[in-house]
Amino acid sequence: MKFKNSAADIFVPDGNDFSKALERTTHLSIAAHQDDTEVFAYHGIAECFGRKDRWFTSVVVTNGSGSARTGIYKDYTDEEMMLVRRQEQRKAAYVGEYSAQIQLDYPSSAIKNPNDKDVIADIVLLLSSASPSTVYLHNPADKHETHVAVFLRSIEAIRALPKEKRPKRAFGCEVWRDLDWLMDSDKSVLPVSRYENIAASLIGIFDSQISGGKRYDLATAGRRLANATYYASHKVDEEKALAYAIDLSPLLLDDSLSVENFIGAYIDRFKDDVISKIKKIR
DSSP the chain: ---SSTT-EEE-TT---HHHHHHT--EEEEESSTTHHHHH-HHHHHHHTT-SS--EEEEEEE--TT----GGGTT--HHHHHHHHHHHHHHHHHHTT-SEEEEEEE-HHHHH-TT--HHHHHHHHHHHHH--SEEEEE-TT-S-HHHHHHHHHHHHHHHTS-GGGS-SEEEEE-BSB-STTS-GGG-EEEE--S-HHHHHHHHHT-HHHHTTT--HHHHHHHHHHHHHHHS-TTS--S-S-EEEEEE-HHHHH-TTS-HHHHHHHHHHHHHHHHHHHHHHH-
Number of domains in the chain: 1
* pLDDT number for residue 233: 67
In a domain, 263, yes or no: no
CA distance 230 to 253: 32
In a domain, 262, yes or no: no
In a domain, 34, yes or no: yes
* pLDDT number for residue 175: 97
Q: What is the CATH number of the domain that holds 97?
A: 3.40.50.10320
In a domain, 272, yes or no: no
Strand arrangement of the beta sheet that strand 9-11 belongs to: 9-11, 100-106, 56-62, 27-31, 134-138, 169-173, 242-247, 188-191
**Which pLDDT band holds residue 234 (cuts at 50, 70, 90)?**
low
Choose the weakest-confidence range: 54-58, 71-75, 80-84, 252-256. Answer: 71-75
In a domain, 265, yes or no: no
**Which pLDDT band holds residue 230 (cuts at 50, 70, 90)?**
very high
Boundaries of domain holding 47: 9-256
**Comparing 223 with 81, which gets the higher pLDDT?**
223
Count the Cβ atoms, other than its own, within 10 Å of residue 99.
27
Give the mean pLDDT of 29-55: 97
In a domain, 149, yes or no: yes
In a domain, 230, yes or no: yes
Give the mean pLDDT of 78-90: 92
Count the Cβ atoms, other than its own, within 10 Å of residue 121.
14
Give the mean pLDDT of 191-217: 92
In a domain, 276, yes or no: no
